Structure 1
Amino acid sequence: MPSPAVRISDAANRVVIVLAALLLTVIFGITILAAGYKYTTNTSLTWAIGINQVLLPWVAALSTTVALKYGEHIAMSFLVDRVPARVAALLRHVNYVLVGLLGILLLVYGYEFMLSSDQMIMISSSLQISGRWPAAALPVTGLVYCIHLLAGPQLLATHSIVEELERELTP
């Protein structure tokens, strides 16, 4: 049975995957709608790009937490596969500490940045969104990093996301 920290990390990961998938679906839907509207009416939906610009930082930032959870870091995998086992273990632990620092920095300074993002983003002449919404992706991502890292350094061991998903989905 996994530890409580691993179960919390797994639950956070599931929430992030669902949220990122929903946001990506909304972005895709808005893009298709805007393209179809432009094609049929020869005018643009002025709000489509603005909404996508607000949602895209969330998808990008949250997807990095999923990659972290599954140990999918191309440069780290490439390096660890080419060094002796003891060096690879050391690199994983150094990486664990560095990612932890990044998570804390994103949480603390991302929160400060979010609070200072008081400008309004013009979506259309009648629709404005606070700059805090896209900026909030930073501290949330930092928080999810920290949650994942509480599961321990074994989290950063590289492994196949397909194999991990098969284990999770198999009853």
Structure 2
Amino acid sequence: MDLLVSLSDKLNGIVLRVCGAMVAVLLAINVYGVFFRYALNDPLPWPLPISRILLVWIALLGISVALKAGEHVAVEGAVRALPLKYERYVRIAGYGVTGVWLAVVLWHGWLATAAADQLMMISSKLQISFKWRLAAVPASAAVQLIHILACPAIIDTALKQRGEDRP
């Protein structure tokens, strides 16, 4: 289990750095595009489609960061209302259901990515495979599944924080 938690921690650090770099690139591309569009009155065709691809990747990888931090979408009020001994079981069940869902998303995302053969026309000379956008789905699901497999550590952290929050 320690190996899995260590892998999850390292992967989360990598994802955070990659997302940070993508946000910086997204910002630079948008500023560049805005400058050409409004200052030079010569809009470029590629900033918007590239920004869309980056935004999809940032959003989907960001979900894995939230999951690792225990901040994934949940009904926290109902879960926290339970006694501590039941809360652990409810959280494990929730992560189990999420894990099954992520396995389905990973599988179908992989199939969709492998089957995609369309090209996105960025300009008359620049085309990007649609696979680059679709690949964010199985990549994010795979990272989230690794975090789910390390969920006992996430749950223990959440329960420890809850115990510290009590008066």
Bin of the TM-score, shorter chain as denominator length: 0.7 to 0.9
What does the per-residue CA deviation read over 1:84-137, in whole Å, with 9 as the maximum and x for residues that have no partner? 334422320121111211221122111001011210011112111001011111
**Structure 2 unaligned runs (5+)?**
162-167
> Which residue of 1 is the match for residue 39 of structure 2?
40
Cα RMSD over matched residues? Answer: 1.9
Higher mean C-alpha displacement, 128-137 vs 79-88:
79-88
SS at 2:70's partner residue? coil
Secondary structure, in 3 states, of the residue corresponding to 2:125?
coil
Structure 2: how far apart are the matches of 1:96 and 1:157? Answer: 13
Tell me how far 1:62 sits from its aligned partner.
0.2
1 CA distance for matches of 2:151 and 2:73? 20
Corresponding residue for residue 155 of structure 1: 154
C-alpha distance in structure 2 between counterparts of 1:114 and 1:156, whole Å: 32
For 2:152 and 2:51, the matched residues in 1 are separated by 35
Percent of pairs with identical residues? 33
Answer yes or no: is the 8 Å Cα contact 2:63–2:72 preserved in 1.
no
The separation in 2 between residues aligned to 1:38 and 1:107, in whole angstroms, is 38
CA contact (8 A) 1:77 1:158 kept: no
Change (3 A) 1:154 1:6: closer
Q: Is 2:25 the partner of 1:26?
A: yes
Give the alignment's TM-score, normalised by structure 2.
0.86
Q: Is residue 57 of structure 1 aligned with residue 46 of structure 2?
A: no
Distance of 2:102 and 2:125 partners within structure 1: 36
Give matches, 1:18-167, under 5 Å: 18-156=17-155, 159=158
- Amino acid of the structure 1 residue aligned with 2:18: L
After superposition, the Cα gap between the structure-2 partners of 1:120 and 1:6, relative to the gap in structure 1 and judged at 3 Å, is same
Match of 1:7 in 2: 6
Structure 1 counterpart of 2:128, which letter? I
SS for the counterpart of 1:46 is coil
Contact 1:70–1:158 at 8 Å: present in 2 too? no
The one-character-per-residue Cα deviations of 1:49-95 (angstroms, maximum 9, x if unpaired) are: 01111211111110000000000135333332233334422320121
- Give the alignment's TM-score, normalised by structure 1: 0.84
Q: How far apart, CA to CA, are the structure 1 residues paired with 2:150 and 2:67? A: 12
Unaligned stretches of 5+ residues in structure 1: 164-171
Residue type at the aligned position of 2:12: N
